[in-house]
Structure 1
Amino acid sequence: MSDNRKSAEQIVDAVGGKDNIAAATHCVTRLRFALKDEDKVDKEKLEDIDLVKGSFSANGQFQVVIGQGTVDKVYNEMVDITGIGRASKEEIKTAAAEKLNPLQKAIKTLADIFIPILPAIVTAGLLMGINNIMTAPDIFFDDQSFVDVYENWAGLAGMINLIANTAFVFLPGLIGWSAVNRFGGSPLLGIVLGLMLVHPDLLNAWTYGAAEEVPTWNLFGLEVQQVGYQGQVLPVLVASYVLARIEIFLRKRIADGFQLLTVAPIALLVTGSLSFIAIGPITFYIGNLITDGVVGIFDAAPAIGGLVYGGLYAPLVITGMHHTFLAVDLQLIGTIGGTFLWPMVALSNIAQGSAAFAMMIIHRKNDKLKGLALTSSISAWLGVTEPAMFGVNLRYRYPFFAAIIGSAIAGIFIAMNAVQAASIGVGGLPAIFSIMAEYWGVFFIGMVIVLIVPFVLTMIFARVKKA
């Protein structure tokens, strides 16, 4: 019997047997199960399997970390052993969603919308970091930027800035595409809807507050402001849902031969009108209230805000609720020009990596755990924390708490110094390039805190536990 087949049999047994598996698929590194009863999973037996690097449950799916290249072989053996049909990721999500409560479903919906556009946002964040290095004063020269001294580079810096800003300037277009697709409509109409909300003929949202006169449309006596929604998240989310529902409604009732000429024009006209008349103004107001509330908390008590968010971000990842804060980050960037929440996310990721790295030192005689801890700590330092969190730190608990403490301390420090990121980038050591240049020194100290404190605390906790 091959090692992969033997491991597949052991995994099936550990998750409660084939009768407990409603559906199963895999991604690049993990087996994904929709289980009938997760209480039947024997985690201790599961994680004793040589190929298994960790396991966790999220959004109704039970996931087993195997590793790239091996997971598809184990999955093929598992399908052959159990006789279960091959399922797509969407089928697994559908099966898992049936077990979620309304709050979990709402969080999952936000995750499904924002995760597909993350590569564009992160790429834009990295490019903005490069632009910051070239254009910020006091990095290479006193009171001057790199392009001030070497003017020939100014054109390149300007081009990089344009490329980087595109994802944020046309953010409603990206969200519209992803949201309408998630709600069951045509993604292309979502793109058109999002771009419509930032049309250049509209008054730019960033200049709305300073405008002496706001242009309006007169709709049969009703005055509707011609205002764009640049950098706004809520207007396009709500409008996308309305557009998708109208499109689905029309497609069910209009004959196929007439759909091309009627469905899209009616759906866009109705949704567009509602967006400018009601959806936009109402959600714009709500979005500003949310922004003002978050900013107010950190203005009034930055230490408490840093302690709570810096300390609780990792537990939020376990529940999946961290995805909701991506929308808040984007709203902050669009409204005040930067986010003070995301820097704490980056430090939390680094802290998890530091705790996992300490576990590599502590368990250096355990080849399997040592290898997993090393690779997962490097992954966390580069912004991907799941292997470190679920494969190492949560498994032993005390490294997880050490990481939370280190992250909370660093969160207090950078919150009290009002550190902001100009964009969302890679949430690990490379995050410093997304931080506004004037805060680099403070953020670097925060990075040192989350590199040292979780490592030291994990070593101490291990000694105490052993004693």
Structure 2
Amino acid sequence: MNHQEIANQLMEHLGGKENVISAAHCATRLRLVIDDEEQINKKEIEELDGVKGAFSSSGQFQVIFGTGTVNKVFIELAPLLGLEENNNEERPKESHSDAAKKKMNPLARFARTLSNIFVPIIPAIVAAGMLMGLLGLMNTYNWVNADSGLFVLLDMFSSAAFIILPILIGFSAAKEFGGNQFLGAVIGGIMTHPALLNPWGLSDAVPETLDIFGMSVEMLGYQGTVIPVLLTVYVMSKIEKGLRKVVPNVIDLLLTPFLTVILTGFFALLVIGPLGRGLGNAITTVLDVVYNTAGPIAGLIFGGLYSMIVLTGVHHSFHAIEAEMLVAIGGNYLLPIWAMANVAQGGATLAVFFKTRNKKVKGIALPAAVSAFLGITEPAIFGVNLKYRLPFIGAAIGGALGGAYVVWTQVMANGIGLTGIPMFAIAQDPFNYLIGFVIAISSAFILTLLLGWKED
């Protein structure tokens, strides 16, 4: 594969250098913000060597190359596009994220914002979830005494990420909202200060109250919460930006952080925090009622619809709800449902691989299926299943059946972000997760073969 030649042809089919506002890449795809998508020759791009599919989503035109290949193509494409030299007045230099957001509708923009905040935090939550799973095995099979020093330390390690979650979110959210990241972390620290009662594991404790400006305020901390700190840091960023416009430069370094922390701190404990806590509790309560009332039917619906939600990009907003759920009920029952939908896409793509006679489709389908089994579904969805439509429907039905099973058996996860095979590391019930996994893949595989599709 000649990566330089592919980059040259790709730039030509994209409408030239002037039609590309910004470019970036993820693990499998080139992500391009395009000025005028009418100039793109999508059919020719899909025929390029190594291209597994192309689609427009989330304000970006995305070209699937697969892991490893996309990096090599991007290295050749970047200097051809000359994006770093683009400083003209009509299209000033800006970040790829900002350029993409301008192309999105408000709902997609909101989902992308939440994704940008939570994706960097996922490794910390995954580590904590895996530690919780290890502790569960140690406790269930009596590998280690619960009073031993090893168990106590591991328990401390596993809960740390959730206790300081507002600090992690504060840092990440401030960056996304355009505020000072360290001030965002300070606000998270205020909301988890030792002077405030830690509700993490202390559900029966009663917090003290303080009289502030005639208002009675509960000294209750926000350890493990999500929505209160998101709202607070958003307001903090607005306050900080407003102050920087009016505070003279000579005293900006001293006065702006000082006033930002004071104003936001009072606002957090008196107004935003209680409102955010109530909103977070309301969301988890509603989901809990639906989960316990509808049961497998809820799993059937959510598992069947999730892949369609992925097409809109709105699925990124679920991270905030899942993080709140982990603390509120001690587990995440949405992630196993999403996992069923993802691996079902892999099952349908695998069926296409075995049945198709097209060598290029075979070359795309097998790695795309493996990628879906590992939790990355875009190559399977956009490169194969959605292209032929009926395999996508087969995958949706497989995801629905798998989702119904994991809800029926009440499978939950100890974290967020991991689906497919990697989710075994954080699944609270690996055995039933495995059964749901097999149901989703096999039903999607069989239904795709039965439904058939047209190669052309």
TM-score (norm 2): 0.90
- Taking the aligned partners of 1:339 and 1:34, their CA distance within structure 2 comes to 34
Partner of 1:54: 53
Cα deviations across residues 121-177 of structure 1 (Å, max 9, x unaligned)?
223223322222222x2xxxxxxx232xx5499544443332232211211111111
The yes-or-no answer on 1:43 pairing with 2:39 is no
In the alignment, residue 235 of structure 2 is paired with which amino acid?
A: V
TM-superposed deviation, 1:183: 0.8
Q: Is the 8 A contact 1:203 1:227 kept in 2?
A: yes
**Deviation, structure 1 residue 240:** 0.4
Q: Tell me the CA shift for residue 366 of structure 1.
A: 4.0
Q: What is the letter of the counterpart of residue 59 of structure 1? A: S
Residue 421 of structure 1: aligned partner: 413
**Comparing 383-392 with 280-289, which one deviates more in the overlay?**
383-392
State the distance in 2 between where 1:210 and 1:349 align.
39
Aligned to 2:238: 245
For 1:158 and 1:224, how far apart are their aligned partners in 2? 34
Change beyond 3 A, Cα 1:175–1:252: same
Aligned partner of residue 203 in structure 1, secondary structure: coil
2:440 aligned partner, one-letter code? V
Which of these residues, 109, 112, 116, is aligned with residue 105 of structure 1?
109
Question: Structure 2 stretches of 5 or more lacking a match?
Answer: 87-91
SS in 2 for 1:57: strand
- Please give the alpha-carbon distance, in whole angstroms, between the structure 1 residues aligned to 2:194 and 2:362: 55
1:394 aligns with one of 380, 386, 401: 386
Partner of 1:20: 19
Q: How does 1:121-136 map to 2 (within 5 A)?
A: 121-135=125-139
Mapped partners of 2:159, 2:315: distance in 1 = 24
Relative to structure 2, which stretch is displaced further, 417-426 or 406-415? 417-426
CA distance in 2, matches of 1:9, 1:449: 44
Q: In the aligned structure 2, how far is the partner of 1:11 from the partner of 1:465?
A: 27
Q: Residue 141 of structure 1 corresponds to which residue in structure 2?
A: none
Contact 1:53-1:372 at 8 Å conserved across structures: yes
Provide the identity percentage. Answer: 41
* SS of alignment partner, residue 146 of structure 1: coil
Secondary structure of the 1:232 match is coil
In the superposition, the TM-score normalised over structure 1's length comes to: 0.88
Q: 1:298 to 1:70 in 2, by over 3 A?
A: closer
Q: Any gaps of 5 or more consecutive residues in structure 1?
A: 138-144
- Please give the alpha-carbon distance, in whole angstroms, between the structure 1 residues aligned to 2:401 and 2:128: 29
1:435 equivalenced with 2:417 (yes/no): no
| Contact kept in structure 2, 1:358 and 1:455, CA below 8 Å | yes
Contact 2:183 2:257 in 1 (8 A): yes
CA distance in structure 2 between the aligned counterparts of 1:80 and 1:434, rounded to whole angstroms: 41
Aligned-partner Cα distance in 1 for 2:11–2:318? 35
Residue 411 of structure 1, CA deviation: 1.1
Q: 1:5 to 1:134 in 2, by over 3 A?
A: same
> What's the counterpart of residue 348 of structure 2?
355
CA contact (8 A) 1:381 1:428 kept: yes
Query: Aligned in 2, Cα 1:330/1:80: closer, same or farther, shift over 3 Å?
Result: closer
The answer to whether the aligner puts 1:370 opposite 2:362 as a matched pair is yes
Question: Do the aligned partners of residues 456 and 86 (structure 1) sit closer, same or farther apart at CA in structure 2, a change above 3 Å counting?
Answer: farther
Instruction: Select 1:146's aligned residue among 142, 145, 149.
Output: 142
Any conservation in 2 of the 1:26–1:89 contact (CA below 8 Å)? no
Structure 1: distance between partners of 2:297 and 2:168: 34
CA RMSD, 1 decimal:
2.7
Q: State how far apart, in whole Å, the 2-side matches of 1:225 and 1:15 are.
A: 58
Q: Deviations over 1:193-241 (max 9, x none)?
A: 1122122221223467533x43012224321110111221110000001
1:289 is the counterpart of 2:282: yes
Rounded to whole Å, the distance in 2 between the matches of 1:100 and 1:268 is 32
* C-alpha contact (below 8 Å) 1:373/1:388 kept by paired residues: yes
- Tell me if 1:379 matches 2:378: no
Partner of 2:155: 161
SS in 1 for 2:448: helix
Alignment correspondent of 2:170:
176
Query: What is the one-letter code of the residue matched to 2:118?
Result: F
Q: In structure 2, what is the equivalent of residue 318 of structure 1? A: 311
Question: Could you say which residue in structure 1 is the equivalent of 2:99?
Answer: 95
Q: Kindly state the Cα deviation for residue 281 of structure 1 after the two structures are TM-superposed.
A: 0.8
